[in-house]
A and B are shown apart, each in its own frame.
Chain A
Amino acid sequence: MDIIEKVIAKNGLIFAFLFVGFVMLFSFIISRKLLRNKIPGVAIAILAGLSLAFLGDQKGIANIPLFAGMAILGGSMFRDFAVVATAMSADISKIKQAGLAGIIALCAGVTVTFALGATIAYFMGYTDAVSMTTIAAGAGTYIVGPVTGTALGASSDVIAISVATGVMKTIFTTIMTPIIAKRIKLDNPHAAVVFGGLIGTTSGVVAGLAATDEKLVPYGALTATFYTGLGCLLFPSVFYLLLTLLGF
């Protein structure tokens, strides 16, 4: 037993390959045999991943020493590397065509998120400009939240709420995208570019699109990757000033 633990501890990433392989295999079997392909195997695998995350704490399942390698496999380095590789199957003409819509979607996404996020924060008892901006920024992505909060000097519990809001968004996007995709006509590269710009959480967008239609992933990722930067730029400056001008 000791030897097994030692081998796994020393080869965490390799064990993560094996473990994720099993999760994928079981998810696809469940999708095919039990659900007759009504829910795609990828969606079930991602849901299984989210449920496994409950076994740990900040780093999800990677908090359990046996599964520490999952943090490397699921970390931003591998994630970004693989997402960039998907660009090989993207059609440049479709990206060009959707370029303007993508840029507008980015601006609209950040602005709508700010307006709604700040309003919700206000009505739930966070009435000062700093807290409102920070919570709204968290509704952008879980990176924009703490960056904005730190820049504005928000209290640590407000920053924690903003991170939680961002993670909530990622999870909600992951689960909701395949469910709502048909109704919002998210079935072509053009719409995927717009979707990525509006939602902006790269992990949520990529996971949600993967569960909907794998071919759409590179298009959504392309715009989503600019969102966090735009958010970090606008929330602590323009949006915060706007709130102070409004008298909060």
Chain B
Amino acid sequence: MKIYGVALLAVCFLTGKFLGNLLGKLIGIDSDIGGVGFAMILLIGSSIYLRKKGWLIPETEKGILFWSSMYIPIIVAMAATLNVKAALSGGFVAVVAGIVTTFACMLLVPVLSKIGQNDKHPKI
């Protein structure tokens, strides 16, 4: 049944969020550190394990895949509920600081991507 897949996703999600908040508490900040990341790792791990056991059948997986296909509409809804006016009313500092720092970090992507890329033919 599809609900088994949704339930598996829910248990990974909640456990991940719990771990994220626990980590936050341990470090002394009242926020979620990497909850989504932990949840993703849990989901990947448990799906590999359950598939090996033969318990994760396609019908169950459909419950997870449905939510995975819903994220684009959700992102559209999220974009429509952002505080865009505040972004522009924060003044020139906000616009400059937001854009310049982000752009600089984007330019670092090709530099840092080289780390751990063990391609057989390194480009010269």
Give chain A's interface secondary structure class.
helix
Q: Give the total of A residues in contact with B, Cβ under 8 Å.
A: 113
Q: Considering the chains assembled together, what is the distance between the CA atoms of A101 and B115 in angstroms? A: 5
Question: Cβ of B43 and Cβ of A207 under 8 Å apart?
Answer: no
B33–A98 touching, CB < 8 Å: no
Q: What residues of chain A lie closer than 8 Å to B76, measured between beta carbons? A: 20, 23-24, 45-46, 48-49, 74
Report the minimal beta-carbon distance from A27 to chain B, rounded to whole angstroms.
8
- Could you tell me the distance between the alpha carbons of A79 and B89 in the complex, rounded to whole angstroms? 26
Residues of A within 8 A of B12 (CB): 84
| Stretch of A29-37, A171-179, A239-247 at the chain-chain interface | A171-179
Do the beta carbons of B115 and A104 come within 8 Å of each other?
Answer: yes
In the bound assembly, the distance between CA atoms of A67 and B44 in angstroms comes to 35
Contacts of B64 in A (CB 8 A): 85, 88
A82 CB contact (under 8 Å) in B27, B70, B102: B70
The answer to whether A90 and B44 have CB atoms under 8 Å apart is yes
Task: Report how far A79 CA is from B79 CA in the complex, Å.
Answer: 11
In the assembled complex, A100 has its CB within 8 A of some CB on chain B: yes
User: Counting CB contacts under 8 A, is A1 at the interface?
Assistant: no
* Contact residues of A between 135 and 169, Cβ < 8 Å to B: 135-136, 138-139, 143, 147, 160-161, 163-169
**B interface secondary structure, majority:** helix
Known interface pairs A124-B93, A194-B112; A229-B33 also in contact (CB < 8 Å): yes
Contact A194 B98 (CB under 8 A): no
Is residue A73 within 8 Å, beta carbon to beta carbon, of the partner chain? yes
With both beta carbons as reference points, the residue of chain B lying nearest to A97 in the complex is identified as: B116
A89-B87 in contact (CB<8A): no
Interface pairs A-B: 3 shortest CB-CB: A164-B90, A229-B33, A168-B98
Chain B positions near chain A (C-beta within 8 angstroms): 9-10, 12-13, 16-17, 20, 23-24, 27, 29, 31-37, 39-41, 43-44, 47-48, 61, 64-65, 67-68, 70-110, 112-118
